[in-house]
Every structure is written in C-alpha cells, then in structure tokens.
C-alpha cells in the first residue's frame, strides 16, 4: 500500500478488518502527515498523538483477540473543536473559551467512539462557528489545501482542510448556515448537512438551535453514509432530535437510480452563476443523466428571501446565547463576530417569531412546488469562484461584505427549511480550486442523496484527487 | 415596515446592556433593515392560528417516502 492515508474511510475500515493494515499503522501515517502539513494549513487546534496511538494499539489488540468490533473500529478521525468531551478543553474557536474544560460528552462523539473510531485531535473552526469563510483571528486562519491563499470556507474550516489533505479519514462539522457545505465544497470533499433533528446536538456548542445540525465531512458519499449511520437517531438528551427511524444508508448506496429525477434551476445558472461554476453543475447533471437519472429544469427556490429568514433567526438566537459575554466580555470577540452578534439585538421579537411561524409554510412550498416531480435539486455550493483570504478578511475593501455574502448565499436558505443537502466535488476551476455542488432533498431523504452521490462518484474521480502529496 | 434608524438601534442595544461604538449603529441599520424588510414581505399576512411548532408537523408531512 503506497500511502494508507489516501484510502477512503470505507476502504480503510475494510483493510483494517481484513488485517491488511493495522490501526497503529493508519494512525502513525496520519500523524506523520499532520506534522508535515499542519504548518501550511493550520487545520488542527490540538493533536492528541499519544492518546490516539494508545487507542490504536488497543484497537489492534481487540482485533487480534477476535473481539466483536464496530464499523469504525480503529479509524483515526478528528473533529471541529466544539464537540465536548469531559475533562477536555473545547475552545469553540474562541478566545473566550480558550481554556474552557467541558464536563459532558457529545452524543455524536460518543456514538462514533462506540463504533470504534479514534480521535486524533481537535480541528480549527470559525470563532463560535459564526463565520462562513474559515477565518479565525485567535487560532489563525485555516488554509485551503488546494491553494493556501484561498479560504477553506467555514465554519468547519479545519474539518474540510484536514479531510481534503488526507490528514484524517473523516471529521465532524456542524451546519447552521452552510458550515459543513462551504468547507466541503471549497476544499473538494464530501459533506452531508442532515435533516434538522437527524443527529443529536447534545454536547455540541450551540449557535442557533432552530438551525444547527451535526454532520460528517469525509472523502466520499459512502464514507459520509457510514458516519451518519453511526450517529443518527433519537437521543433523549436532545429533545429536538427526531424519532424518525434511521434507514440503512449504507445498504441504500447500491440501489438502482432508476426512477429518480433531479431538478436543475437552469435559469438561475444562466443568469447569476459564474460560467465555470454553472458548467460544472451542468456536467454533474449530465453525469447523473448518463447513470439513468431523469434530469429536468426547475424554477428553483427563492434563495434570497429564505436566506433572510435564516439570517434573522440565526442572529437573534446567537445573540441571545452570547448575551452574557456580549455584556461582560465584548472585547474578547473578534471584530467580525462581534459585529454579527450586535445585529441580533436590533431585531424585534415579532419579526423573529414571524420567521419561525412562516418556516413550516416555506418548507411545504419547497417540497410541494419547488420539488414538484423531482426527488432532489442540484445546485452549486457557491455562485462565484472561491475568494482569497485577503478578499474576505478585515480590510478586504468595500466589496468584502458582498464577497462574504456570496459564499453563503446558496447555503443559508437550506438551514431555514431544515432539509438535507449533500455536497460533492464537481470538478476544478482554472486556478485548480474545487467547485462544489450540492444535492438538496426532502426531509429525511439522506438515503436518496447518498445514492445519487455514490453513483456520481462511481462515474467521476474528482473526489479522489488529492491536493497535497507526500 | 418602517426602517430602524441609528439612534433607535443604539437605544435598543443599550437597553439590553450592549453599548455600541461610535458610528456603529448606522452600519448595523444598513445591515438589519434589508433582512427585516425581506422577511416581512413574506410574513405580513400569516394565518392567525399559525404557530412556530407547525414547522415540526410540516417536517413530518413533507418527509421523503422511503
């Protein structure tokens, strides 16, 4: 095996079970890669090498002893630094929580751990997950592994960069306004924003409970299906987690695509999307058509109106959560996050409640009208090419706010509706940067999205491209 | 919907114990007003009985057929 880090999570799991490789070898290979690439990418907040190596030895011993093992047995992962572990620091990407030690255990992490996964460390993220670019004034900006001058997308910046550069086999992100999908799309990996309530958020730092979801970023749709399979399902500790039964995501991957129909908002692609990005979406649609999927033109959602509701809800809820710190420690926020939080205090309670009351109607309209006759919608992650870090940083000039707005424009509306979306790499632009595409479905349609994504990745090799070698 | 101006926003935040830096309120107004206006355009005539929890029922009604 040339470099075991280049295996997908599913391939690595199979190699481990067949004893073609040990957990210790996998973990050592990841650590070597992290040590090599961390200075350039700044994807990790904390590396827990010794603990992970000890876990890897224990995982190998269990396999040698013939013990029953979980589907993620011995696989090294790392997660956005906002998933709590008792006795461990969780910075949440902030100065305020720089030394904060959690006293509880995230349900998502517990479930991954129960399935046998190891944790190699914690990953960079936007401060309090409140930023779509991947900037972080306190931890340092995370860098896009395809070109370190460009943003990774946020807020799960380290998760996107670490998975793309093959430092780990998978990572947890969280998505309130695009925070799994932006880094997945911009770093050229696969990520799923599950249906709201599909995965317990207990022990995960909240940003806006009405919109927050927990989900994985990994190399492929099959990897994400396996990770979501492990984590999904009701949790009494998160009363908003869904009681909807969890389907067999992994089993569904091999189902035929016959009878599936995908809608493409062609007018939007032609009218407002960068030609290179639009071309990638059309090529993805053509690939799906070649696989037997019916592809039709649809009107597409009113992303701007839905995004306004999403932003309004997020601003009010995050400002409420951060109230005590905004009153006592305002100077400890970065200027960008402080400015976003200030906005929430200016929004009338009636406007907030109106947006919540409208949410169900908007969802029904989307499912009945926008998705009429189709199973899913195919859209780009961003309408524009990926911007640089400088263009989106403080002092980025008069166009900065607009540039940042474009990053989240096609993402935020999905959180308002609470529907699932799978992000795939749809190719590369002329600068060699990935072009993300997203497939958006009805509530709890994750199986369908994984089927489409898996088939697409069987017909293309974009997801197998690696940005850094060695 | 009548737009919020800088002094109103400054007073709103101050009443919640979040004082603003000089000139910040006007910039906040420029950011908040378009959001309020865009959302209000759709919520101006919501049905009287409609409550936020209706979303959870819609999530169930709209779920994908397995």
Would you state the pLDDT for residue A1? 59
Quick one: which of A466, A415, A435, A447 has its CA closest to A180?
A415
Catalytic residue among A110, A157, A179, A200: A179
Distance, CA of A9 to chain centre: 16
Contact B28 A342 (CB under 8 A): yes
Say if pTM beats, i.e. exceeds, 0.95: yes
- A&B contacts, CB < 8 Å: 124
Per residue of chain A (470 residues), what is the pLDDT tens digit?
589 999 999 999 999 999 999 999 999 999 999 999 999 999 999 999 999 999 999 999 999 999 988 999 999 999 999 999 999 999 999 999 999 999 999 999 999 999 999 999 999 999 999 999 999 999 999 999 999 999 999 999 999 999 999 999 999 999 999 999 999 999 999 999 999 999 999 999 999 999 999 999 999 999 999 999 999 999 999 999 999 999 999 999 999 999 999 999 999 999 999 999 999 999 999 999 999 999 999 999 999 999 999 999 999 999 999 999 999 999 999 999 999 999 999 999 999 999 999 999 999 999 999 999 999 999 999 999 999 999 998 777 778 888 999 999 999 999 999 999 999 999 999 999 999 999 999 999 999 999 999 999 999 999 999 997 54
Quick one: which of A327, A426, A333 has its CA closest to A131?
A333
Would you state the pLDDT for residue B1? 72
Tell me whether A14 touches chain B (CB under 8 Å): no
Would you state the pLDDT for residue A401? 86
Taking CA–CA distances from B56, the nearest residue in chain A reads A360
Distance CA A313, CA A254 (A): 38
Distance CA A116, CA A113 (A): 5
Instruction: Tell me the β-bridge partners of A204.
Output: A83
What is the DSSP code string of A295-345? EEE-----HHHHHHHHHHHHHHHHHHHTHHHHHH-GGGS-HHHHHHHHHHT
- Work out the average pLDDT over B50-56: 96
Residues of B in contact with A353 (CB under 8 A): 52
Mutate to test the interface with B, among A360, A361, A441 (most CBs of B within 10 A): A360
Contact B32 A360 (CB under 8 A): no
Contact A323 B9 (CB under 8 A): no
* 3-state SS record for A449-470: HHHHHHHHHHHCCHHHCCCCCC
For residue A155, whether the previous peptide bond is cis, meaning omega lies within 30 degrees of 0, is yes
Sign of CA dihedral A104, A109, A112, A117: negative
Distance, CA of B20 to chain centre: 20
Spatial strand order of the sheet with A434-441 comes to A170-175, A213-218, A190-193, A421-428, A434-441, A376-380, A261-264, A294-297
Q: Is A319 labeled as catalytic in the residue annotation?
A: no
Smallest Cα distance from B23 to chain A, Å: 12
Catalytic residue among A80, A94, A106, A174: A80
The radius of gyration of chain B from alpha carbons, rounded to an integer in Å, stands at: 18
Contact A330 B52 (CB under 8 A): no
Would you state the pLDDT for residue B28? 95
Sign of CA dihedral A354, A359, A364, A369: positive
Instruction: Tell me the β-bridge partners of A297.
Output: A264
Residues of B in contact with A327 (CB under 8 A): 16-18
Smallest Cα distance from B65 to chain A, Å: 8
Contact A356 B17 (CB under 8 A): no
**Residue A432: other Cβ atoms inside 10 A:** 11
**Residue A17: other Cβ atoms inside 10 A:** 13
Smallest Cα distance from A367 to chain B, Å: 6
Would you state the pLDDT for residue B66? 66
Contact B13 A361 (CB under 8 A): no
CB A165 within 8 A of CB A209: no
CB A281 within 8 A of CB A426: yes
């Amino acid at each position: 095996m040339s470099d075991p880090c280049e295996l997908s999570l599913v391939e690595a799991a199979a190699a481990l079970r067949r004893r073609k490789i040990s957990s210790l070898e996998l973990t050592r290979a990841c650590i070597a890669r992290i040590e090599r690439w961390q200075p350039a990418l700044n994807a990790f907040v904390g590396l827990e090498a010794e603990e992970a190596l000890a876990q890897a030895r224990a995982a190998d011993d269990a396999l040698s002893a013939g013990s029953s093992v979980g589907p993620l047995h011995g696989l090294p992962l790392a997660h956005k630094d906002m998933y709590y572990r008792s006795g461990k620091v969780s910075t949440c990407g902030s100065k305020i929580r720089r030394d904060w030690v959690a006293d509880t255990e995230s349900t998502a992490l517990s479930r991954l751990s129960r399935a046998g996964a190891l944790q190699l460390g914690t990953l960079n993220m936007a401060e309090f997950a409140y930023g779509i670019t991947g900037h972080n004034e306190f931890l340092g900006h995370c860098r896009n592994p395809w070109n370190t001058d460009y943003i990774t997308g946020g807020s799960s910046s380290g998760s996107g960069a670490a998975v793309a550069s093959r430092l780990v086999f998978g990572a947890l992100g969280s998505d309130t306004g695009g925070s799994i999908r932006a880094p997945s799309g911009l770093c050229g990996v696969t990520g799923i924003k599950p249906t709201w309530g599909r995965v317990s958020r207990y022990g995960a730092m909240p940003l806006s409970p009405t919109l927050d979801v927990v989900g994985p970023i990994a190399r492929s749709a099959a990897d994400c299906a396996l990770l979501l399979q492990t984590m999904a399902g009701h949790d009494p500790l998160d009363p908003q987690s869904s009681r909807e039964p969890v389907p067999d995501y992994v089993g569904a991957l091999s189902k035929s695509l016959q009878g599936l129909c995908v809608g493409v908002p062609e007018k939007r692609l032609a009218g407002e999307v960068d030609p290179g990005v639009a071309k990638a979406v059309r090529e993805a649609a053509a690939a799906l058509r070649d696989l037997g999927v019916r592809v039709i033109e649809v009107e597409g959602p009113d992303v701007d109106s839905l995004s306004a509701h999403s932003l309004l809800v997020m601003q009010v809820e995050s400002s409420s959560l951060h109230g005590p710190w905004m009153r006592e420690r305002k100077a400890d926020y970065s200027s960008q996050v402080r400015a976003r939080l200030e906005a929430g205090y200016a929004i009338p309670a009636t406007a907030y409640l109106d947006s919540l009351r409208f949410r169900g109607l908007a969802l029904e309209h989307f499912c009945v009208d926008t998705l009429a006759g189709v199973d899913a919608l195919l859209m780009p992650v961003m309408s524009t090419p990926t911007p640089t870090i400088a263009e989106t940083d403080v002092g980025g000039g008069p166009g900065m706010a607009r540039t940042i707005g474009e990053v989240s424009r096609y993402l935020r509306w999905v959180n308002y509706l609470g529907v699932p979306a799978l992000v795939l790499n749809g190719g590369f632009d002329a600068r060699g940067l990935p072009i993300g595409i997203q497939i958006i479905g009805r509530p709890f349609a994750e199986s369908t999205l994984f089927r489409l994504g898996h088939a697409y990745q069987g017909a293309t090799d974009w997801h197998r491209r690696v940005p850094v070698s060695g | 919907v009548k737009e919020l101006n800088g002094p109103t926003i400054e007073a709103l935040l101050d009443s919640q114990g979040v004082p603003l830096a000089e000139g910040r309120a006007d910039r906040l107004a420029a950011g908040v007003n378009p959001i309020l206006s865009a959302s209000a355009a759709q919520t101006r005539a919501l049905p009287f009985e409609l409550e936020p929890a209706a979303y959870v029922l819609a999530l169930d009604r709209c779920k994908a057929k397995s």
